[in-house]
Protein backbone atom coordinates (compact mmCIF):
# COMPACT_ATOMS: atom_id res chain seq x y z
CA UNK A 1 0.00 0.00 0.00
CA UNK A 2 1.62 3.23 -1.18
CA UNK A 3 0.73 6.91 -1.43
CA UNK A 4 3.64 9.31 -2.02
CA UNK A 5 4.12 12.97 -2.85
CA UNK A 6 6.13 12.75 -6.08
CA UNK A 7 9.61 14.22 -6.25
CA UNK A 8 9.95 16.72 -9.11
CA UNK A 9 13.35 16.48 -10.82
CA UNK A 10 14.36 19.12 -13.41
CA UNK A 11 16.49 18.41 -16.49
CA UNK A 12 18.35 20.94 -18.59
CA UNK A 13 17.69 20.81 -22.33
CA UNK A 14 18.96 23.02 -25.17
CA UNK A 15 15.36 23.75 -26.20
CA UNK A 16 14.11 24.55 -22.68
CA UNK A 17 13.14 27.71 -20.81
CA UNK A 18 14.48 29.72 -17.88
CA UNK A 19 11.20 30.27 -16.04
CA UNK A 20 8.89 27.35 -15.26
CA UNK A 21 6.27 29.37 -13.41
CA UNK A 22 3.45 28.84 -12.60
CA UNK A 23 4.15 25.10 -12.82
CA UNK A 24 7.31 25.21 -10.72
CA UNK A 25 9.61 27.72 -9.04
CA UNK A 26 12.61 25.64 -10.10
CA UNK A 27 14.89 26.90 -12.81
CA UNK A 28 14.40 30.63 -12.33
CA UNK A 29 18.17 31.17 -12.38
CA UNK A 30 18.96 28.50 -14.97
CA UNK A 31 19.03 28.90 -18.72
CA UNK A 32 17.30 25.96 -20.31
CA UNK A 33 15.21 23.70 -18.11
CA UNK A 34 13.24 21.55 -20.53
CA UNK A 35 11.68 18.82 -18.44
CA UNK A 36 10.33 17.99 -15.02
CA UNK A 37 10.33 14.28 -14.23
CA UNK A 38 8.07 13.07 -11.45
CA UNK A 39 9.62 10.26 -9.47
CA UNK A 40 8.67 8.26 -6.42
CA UNK A 41 9.85 9.83 -3.19
CA UNK A 42 11.04 6.38 -2.09
CA UNK A 43 14.05 5.99 -4.39
CA UNK A 44 14.95 2.57 -2.95
CA UNK A 45 12.06 0.85 -4.73
CA UNK A 46 11.95 -0.57 -8.24
CA UNK A 47 11.22 2.32 -10.65
CA UNK A 48 7.61 2.48 -11.84
CA UNK A 49 6.83 1.28 -15.34
CA UNK A 50 5.42 4.68 -16.33
CA UNK A 51 7.16 8.05 -16.37
CA UNK A 52 5.23 11.29 -15.91
CA UNK A 53 6.82 14.50 -17.24
CA UNK A 54 6.23 18.14 -17.94
CA UNK A 55 7.92 19.56 -21.06
CA UNK A 56 8.71 23.26 -21.51
CA UNK A 57 9.78 24.32 -25.02
CA UNK A 58 11.40 27.54 -26.20
CA UNK A 59 12.75 25.93 -29.38
CA UNK A 60 11.63 22.94 -31.48
CA UNK A 61 12.69 19.53 -30.22
CA UNK A 62 14.45 17.05 -32.47
CA UNK A 63 12.49 15.02 -35.00
CA UNK A 64 12.60 11.56 -33.48
CA UNK A 65 11.08 8.12 -33.18
CA UNK A 66 10.79 5.50 -30.42
CA UNK A 67 11.00 1.70 -30.78
CA UNK A 68 8.37 -0.82 -29.78
CA UNK A 69 8.99 -3.39 -27.07
CA UNK A 70 10.23 -6.09 -29.44
CA UNK A 71 12.89 -3.95 -31.09
CA UNK A 72 14.00 -2.38 -27.81
CA UNK A 73 14.49 -5.81 -26.27
CA UNK A 74 16.42 -6.98 -29.34
CA UNK A 75 19.07 -4.30 -28.63
CA UNK A 76 19.21 -4.98 -24.90
CA UNK A 77 16.69 -2.45 -23.58
CA UNK A 78 13.90 -3.51 -21.23
CA UNK A 79 11.05 -2.05 -23.29
CA UNK A 80 10.12 0.44 -25.97
CA UNK A 81 8.26 3.69 -25.66
CA UNK A 82 4.71 4.66 -26.44
CA UNK A 83 3.73 8.04 -25.03
CA UNK A 84 0.87 10.51 -24.87
CA UNK A 85 0.82 14.31 -24.69
CA UNK A 86 -1.68 16.68 -23.11
CA UNK A 87 -1.17 20.34 -24.01
CA UNK A 88 -1.32 22.55 -20.91
CA UNK A 89 -0.44 25.87 -22.54
CA UNK A 90 0.48 27.01 -26.03
CA UNK A 91 1.51 30.23 -27.70
CA UNK A 92 -0.56 31.18 -30.77
CA UNK A 93 2.05 29.82 -33.17
CA UNK A 94 2.80 26.58 -31.26
CA UNK A 95 2.73 23.33 -33.24
CA UNK A 96 3.36 19.62 -32.88
CA UNK A 97 4.38 17.18 -35.62
CA UNK A 98 3.22 13.62 -36.14
CA UNK A 99 3.98 11.43 -39.14
CA UNK A 100 5.06 12.31 -42.68
CA UNK A 101 3.24 13.99 -45.55
CA UNK A 102 3.70 10.92 -47.74
CA UNK A 103 4.87 7.36 -47.40
CA UNK A 104 8.57 6.81 -48.07
CA UNK A 105 10.63 3.73 -48.72
CA UNK A 106 13.43 3.04 -46.28
CA UNK A 107 16.00 4.35 -48.75
CA UNK A 108 13.98 7.51 -49.35
CA UNK A 109 13.74 8.05 -45.60
CA UNK A 110 17.50 7.57 -45.28
CA UNK A 111 18.06 10.20 -47.96
CA UNK A 112 15.80 12.73 -46.20
CA UNK A 113 17.70 12.17 -42.96
CA UNK A 114 21.07 12.54 -44.68
CA UNK A 115 20.22 15.83 -46.37
CA UNK A 116 17.94 17.21 -43.64
CA UNK A 117 14.89 17.44 -45.88
CA UNK A 118 12.90 15.37 -43.41
CA UNK A 119 12.33 18.65 -41.57
CA UNK A 120 10.05 19.65 -44.46
CA UNK A 121 8.24 16.31 -44.65
CA UNK A 122 6.85 15.97 -41.13
CA UNK A 123 3.24 17.06 -40.70
CA UNK A 124 2.91 20.04 -38.37
CA UNK A 125 -0.42 20.88 -36.76
CA UNK A 126 -1.41 23.80 -34.50
CA UNK A 127 -1.42 22.92 -30.79
CA UNK A 128 -4.01 24.23 -28.35
CA UNK A 129 -4.54 23.79 -24.59
CA UNK A 130 -6.45 20.60 -23.94
CA UNK A 131 -5.24 18.80 -27.07
CA UNK A 132 -4.33 15.15 -26.55
CA UNK A 133 -1.97 13.22 -28.83
CA UNK A 134 -1.02 9.55 -28.83
CA UNK A 135 2.54 8.94 -30.02
CA UNK A 136 2.67 5.21 -30.66
CA UNK A 137 6.04 3.50 -30.92
CA UNK A 138 7.36 3.86 -34.47
CA UNK A 139 5.68 7.22 -35.12
CA UNK A 140 7.97 10.00 -36.36
CA UNK A 141 7.21 13.07 -34.27
CA UNK A 142 8.38 16.40 -32.91
CA UNK A 143 7.28 19.16 -30.54
CA UNK A 144 7.56 22.81 -31.49
CA UNK A 145 8.38 25.92 -29.47
CA UNK A 146 6.03 27.72 -27.10
CA UNK A 147 4.47 24.73 -25.37
CA UNK A 148 3.96 23.26 -21.93
CA UNK A 149 3.00 19.61 -22.28
CA UNK A 150 2.21 16.87 -19.79
CA UNK A 151 3.58 13.56 -21.04
CA UNK A 152 2.96 10.04 -19.84
CA UNK A 153 5.16 7.32 -21.31
CA UNK A 154 6.54 3.87 -20.91
CA UNK A 155 9.67 4.32 -18.82
CA UNK A 156 12.41 4.13 -21.42
CA UNK A 157 15.37 6.16 -22.70
CA UNK A 158 14.94 4.74 -26.20
CA UNK A 159 14.83 7.81 -28.46
CA UNK A 160 16.27 7.80 -31.97
CA UNK A 161 16.91 11.25 -33.47
CA UNK A 162 16.45 11.83 -37.20
CA UNK A 163 16.98 15.63 -37.29
CA UNK A 164 18.17 18.05 -34.61
CA UNK A 165 18.03 21.57 -36.08
CA UNK A 166 21.82 21.87 -36.32
CA UNK A 167 22.47 21.34 -32.60
CA UNK A 168 25.24 18.85 -33.31
CA UNK A 169 23.84 16.02 -31.20
CA UNK A 170 24.15 12.46 -32.44
CA UNK A 171 21.59 11.13 -34.90
CA UNK A 172 20.56 7.48 -34.68
CA UNK A 173 19.96 6.74 -38.33
CA UNK A 174 20.16 2.94 -38.46
CA UNK A 175 17.97 2.44 -35.41
CA UNK A 176 15.49 5.03 -36.65
CA UNK A 177 15.26 3.35 -40.05
CA UNK A 178 14.63 0.01 -38.37
CA UNK A 179 11.66 1.19 -36.31
CA UNK A 180 10.08 4.17 -38.10
CA UNK A 181 6.67 4.04 -39.71
CA UNK A 182 7.68 6.24 -42.65
CA UNK A 183 4.24 7.51 -43.56
CA UNK A 184 1.27 9.60 -42.40
CA UNK A 185 -0.03 9.31 -38.84
CA UNK A 186 -3.43 10.02 -37.35
CA UNK A 187 -3.59 13.11 -35.14
CA UNK A 188 -7.18 12.51 -34.14
CA UNK A 189 -7.73 11.62 -30.49
CA UNK A 190 -11.32 12.07 -29.39
CA UNK A 191 -11.73 12.28 -25.61
CA UNK A 192 -14.68 10.36 -24.17
CA UNK A 193 -16.72 11.85 -21.34
CA UNK A 194 -17.23 8.97 -18.92
CA UNK A 195 -19.00 10.89 -16.14
CA UNK A 196 -19.34 14.47 -14.96
CA UNK A 197 -15.92 14.12 -13.35
CA UNK A 198 -14.00 11.79 -15.69
CA UNK A 199 -12.85 12.21 -19.28
CA UNK A 200 -11.00 9.36 -20.96
CA UNK A 201 -8.16 10.72 -23.06
CA UNK A 202 -6.31 7.58 -24.18
CA UNK A 203 -6.31 3.90 -23.28
CA UNK A 204 -3.99 1.27 -24.72
CA UNK A 205 -2.13 -1.84 -23.62
CA UNK A 206 0.55 0.25 -21.88
CA UNK A 207 -1.46 2.85 -19.94
CA UNK A 208 -4.74 4.69 -19.52
CA UNK A 209 -4.76 8.49 -19.43
CA UNK A 210 -7.68 10.48 -18.01
CA UNK A 211 -8.63 13.98 -16.94
CA UNK A 212 -10.64 14.44 -13.75
CA UNK A 213 -12.57 17.57 -12.75
CA UNK A 214 -13.75 17.76 -9.14
CA UNK A 215 -16.12 20.43 -7.87
CA UNK A 216 -15.07 22.74 -5.01
CA UNK A 217 -14.83 21.11 -1.58
CA UNK A 218 -16.08 17.73 -2.84
CA UNK A 219 -14.75 14.51 -1.29
CA UNK A 220 -13.62 11.55 -3.37
CA UNK A 221 -11.77 8.25 -3.23
CA UNK A 222 -9.32 7.40 -6.02
CA UNK A 223 -8.94 3.63 -6.35
CA UNK A 224 -5.26 3.09 -7.18
CA UNK A 225 -5.01 -0.67 -7.45
CA UNK A 226 -2.31 -0.51 -10.11
CA UNK A 227 0.51 2.00 -10.51
CA UNK A 228 -1.24 5.40 -10.64
CA UNK A 229 -0.09 8.99 -11.11
CA UNK A 230 -2.11 12.14 -10.40
CA UNK A 231 -0.89 15.52 -11.70
CA UNK A 232 -2.66 18.71 -10.61
CA UNK A 233 -3.28 21.01 -13.60
CA UNK A 234 -5.69 23.44 -11.92
CA UNK A 235 -6.96 24.11 -8.41
CA UNK A 236 -5.85 22.18 -5.36
CA UNK A 237 -6.73 19.28 -3.10
CA UNK A 238 -5.82 17.35 0.00
CA UNK A 239 -4.65 13.98 -1.35
CA UNK A 240 -4.00 11.32 1.25
CA UNK A 241 -1.69 13.05 3.72
CA UNK A 242 -0.59 15.76 1.29
CA UNK A 243 -1.77 19.18 0.17
CA UNK A 244 -1.30 19.43 -3.59
CA UNK A 245 -1.60 22.36 -5.96
CA UNK A 246 -0.69 23.31 -9.53
CA UNK A 247 2.25 21.26 -10.81
CA UNK A 248 2.29 18.79 -7.91
CA UNK A 249 1.96 15.06 -8.46
CA UNK A 250 1.09 12.04 -6.34
CA UNK A 251 2.06 8.40 -6.87
CA UNK A 252 -0.14 5.61 -5.52
CA UNK A 253 -0.32 1.85 -5.85
CA UNK A 254 -2.44 -0.82 -4.15
CA UNK A 255 -4.13 1.89 -2.13
CA UNK A 256 -7.06 4.28 -1.94
CA UNK A 257 -6.34 7.99 -2.15
CA UNK A 258 -8.86 10.19 -0.37
CA UNK A 259 -9.21 13.47 -2.27
CA UNK A 260 -10.76 16.60 -0.81
CA UNK A 261 -10.96 19.18 -3.59
CA UNK A 262 -10.01 22.73 -2.64
CA UNK A 263 -12.21 25.81 -2.71
CA UNK A 264 -11.57 26.27 -6.43
CA UNK A 265 -12.04 22.60 -7.22
CA UNK A 266 -9.44 20.34 -8.79
CA UNK A 267 -8.53 19.47 -12.35
CA UNK A 268 -6.01 16.69 -12.70
CA UNK A 269 -4.49 14.24 -15.12
CA UNK A 270 -4.53 10.61 -13.98
CA UNK A 271 -2.40 7.94 -15.63
CA UNK A 272 -2.26 4.28 -14.67
CA UNK A 273 -1.04 0.99 -16.08
CA UNK A 274 -3.42 -1.27 -17.93
CA UNK A 275 -6.90 -0.70 -19.28
CA UNK A 276 -9.73 1.53 -18.19
CA UNK A 277 -10.85 1.15 -14.57
CA UNK A 278 -14.63 1.73 -14.53
CA UNK A 279 -14.80 2.60 -10.83
CA UNK A 280 -11.67 4.68 -10.54
CA UNK A 281 -13.39 7.48 -8.59
CA UNK A 282 -15.97 7.17 -5.86
CA UNK A 283 -17.76 10.26 -4.57
CA UNK A 284 -17.82 10.01 -0.79
CA UNK A 285 -20.15 12.99 -0.47
CA UNK A 286 -22.96 11.20 -2.28
CA UNK A 287 -21.75 7.62 -1.95
CA UNK A 288 -22.12 7.07 -5.66
CA UNK A 289 -19.56 5.73 -8.09
CA UNK A 290 -18.27 8.16 -10.70
Same domain, 8 and 63: yes
Query: Which is the catalytic residue, given 110, 161, 198, 211?
Result: 161
79 occurs within a structural domain: yes
Give how many domains the chain has, as a whole number.
2
For residue 196, what pLDDT is reported? 96
Boundary residue ending a domain (121, 156, 179): 179
Same domain, 216 and 101: no
184 occurs within a structural domain: no
218 occurs within a structural domain: yes
CATH number of the domain that residue 223 is part of: 2.60.120.10
Residue 23, domain extent = 2-179
Boundary residue ending a domain (116, 151, 179): 179
List average pLDDT for each run of 10 residues in the chain, which is 290 residues long: 94 94 75 93 92 98 98 97 98 98 98 97 97 98 98 97 95 98 92 98 98 98 97 98 98 97 98 96 70
For residue 43, what pLDDT is reported? 85
Q: Is-catalytic flag, 161?
A: yes
For residue 31, what pLDDT is reported? 67
Same domain, 168 and 78: yes
| C-alpha closest to that of 130 among 74, 101, 173, 87 | 87
Q: Rounded to the nearest 10 degrees, how much is the dihedral formed by the CA atoms of 50, 228, 263, 196?
A: 100
Distance CA 172, CA 162 (A): 6
For residue 286, what pLDDT is reported? 59
For residue 287, what pLDDT is reported? 46
Boundary residue ending a domain (122, 155, 179): 179
34 occurs within a structural domain: yes
Amino acid sequence: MTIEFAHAHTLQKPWGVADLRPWSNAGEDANTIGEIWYERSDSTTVPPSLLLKLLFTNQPLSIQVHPDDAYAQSIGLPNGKTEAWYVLSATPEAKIALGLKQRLTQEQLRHTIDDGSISNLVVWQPAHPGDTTLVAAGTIHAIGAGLVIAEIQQRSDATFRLFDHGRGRELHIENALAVANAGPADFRVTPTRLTDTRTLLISNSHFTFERIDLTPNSFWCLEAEQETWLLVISGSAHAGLFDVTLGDAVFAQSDRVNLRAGRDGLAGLVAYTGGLVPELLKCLDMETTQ
